[in-house]
A and B are shown apart, each in its own frame.
Chain A
Amino acid sequence: GENVEQHPSTLSVQEGDSAVIKCTYSDSASNYFPWYKQELGKRPQLIIDIRSNVGEKKDQRIAVTLNKTAKHFSLHITETQPEDSAVYFCAASKGNAGKSTFGDGTTLTVKP
């Protein structure tokens, strides 16, 4: 089955700096790669996603890049703010198969 590895497990940055979280996947048939943000005590919520026919997608301060050949994708957050502090999860899934495999999460702390 699919295996998703996520690094780093914890990340601390100063407000205004950039943060990068990386994930690798094992199943070359995976074609949908979402990123979820989970604030303390809350449910995970989708913040950005990318499909395998796209190399990069951007939404304001967040962007995701995908390298299908190397089977890795990354989340980039620029101009970080304290409210970006949360746990971020990457995931991989195959089209209409429904279920996703999640990474173990990255705890991001943005210091004011």
Chain B
Amino acid sequence: NAGVTQTPKFRVLKTGQSMTLLCAQDMNHEYMYWYRQDPGMGLRLIHYSVGEGTTAKGEVPDGYNVSRLKKQNFLLGLESAAPSQTSVYFCASSSVGGNNEQFFGPGTRLTVL
């Protein structure tokens, strides 16, 4: 099992450009999440999904959109990138019931110039 994978690993954008980050999981998890991690600020939840076709806002959703068309994939979109969106982005997934252990992807380092 690959677990949680993210594409791409690195990306440099210019202000105003758009891009989509892809997260995929092969553990049949219902829940998926997108976080950003900035120095000294921990992991902040951007958006999450509790199942295929559903999405919800997290703590810092502004400037981002998401889609969960397939259970195994969770896409994060930046329509018009800003320097404030320079960060490391982590995707995670977890199963329904039992505990809420989250399995994280390797991260995407995004720089917006």
Is A25 positioned at the interface, with any CB of B under 8 Å from its CB?
A: no
The smallest C-beta distance from B82 to any residue of chain A, in angstroms, reads: 23
What's the Cα separation between A96 and B94 when bound, in Å? 10
Q: Which of A66-74, A75-83, A99-107 contacts B (4 or more CB under 8 A)?
A: A99-107
Number of interface residues of B (CB under 8 A): 25
B interface: dominant SS: loop
Specify which of A1, A49, A105 is in contact with B99 (CB 8 Å cutoff).
A49
Across the interface, do B40 and A44 meet the contact criterion of CB distance under 8 Å?
no
Specify which of A49, A95, A101, A102 is in contact with B101 (CB 8 Å cutoff).
A49
What's the Cα separation between A101 and B45 when bound, in Å? 8
Across the interface, do B41 and A104 meet the contact criterion of CB distance under 8 Å?
yes
What's the Cα separation between A98 and B96 when bound, in Å? 8
Which of chain B's residues have a CB closer than 8 A to the CB of A28? none
The smallest C-beta distance from B4 to any residue of chain A, in angstroms, reads: 8
| Interface members, chain B 75-106 (any A CB < 8 Å) | 90, 94, 96-97, 99-102, 104-106
Across the interface, do B45 and A89 meet the contact criterion of CB distance under 8 Å?
no
Across the interface, do B99 and A100 meet the contact criterion of CB distance under 8 Å?
no
Is A7 positioned at the interface, with any CB of B under 8 Å from its CB?
A: no
Across the interface, do B43 and A89 meet the contact criterion of CB distance under 8 Å?
yes
Is B50 positioned at the interface, with any CB of A under 8 Å from its CB?
A: yes
| Interface members, chain A 11-49 (any B CB < 8 Å) | 32, 34, 42-46, 49
Q: Given A32-B100, A89-B42, A103-B42: A43 and B94 within 8 A (CB)?
A: no
Which of chain B's residues have a CB closer than 8 A to the CB of A6? 42
What's the Cα separation between A12 and B105 when bound, in Å? 28
Taking Cβ atoms with an 8 Å cutoff, the residues of B that contact A are: 30-31, 33, 40-45, 48, 50, 58-59, 90, 94, 96-97, 99-102, 104-107
23 contacting pairs across A/B (C-beta < 8 A): A6-B42, A32-B99, A32-B100, A43-B106, A43-B107, A44-B90, A44-B102, A44-B104, A49-B101, A89-B42, A89-B43, A96-B97, A98-B48, A98-B94, A99-B31, A99-B45, A99-B48, A100-B102, A101-B45, A104-B40, A104-B42, A105-B40, A105-B42
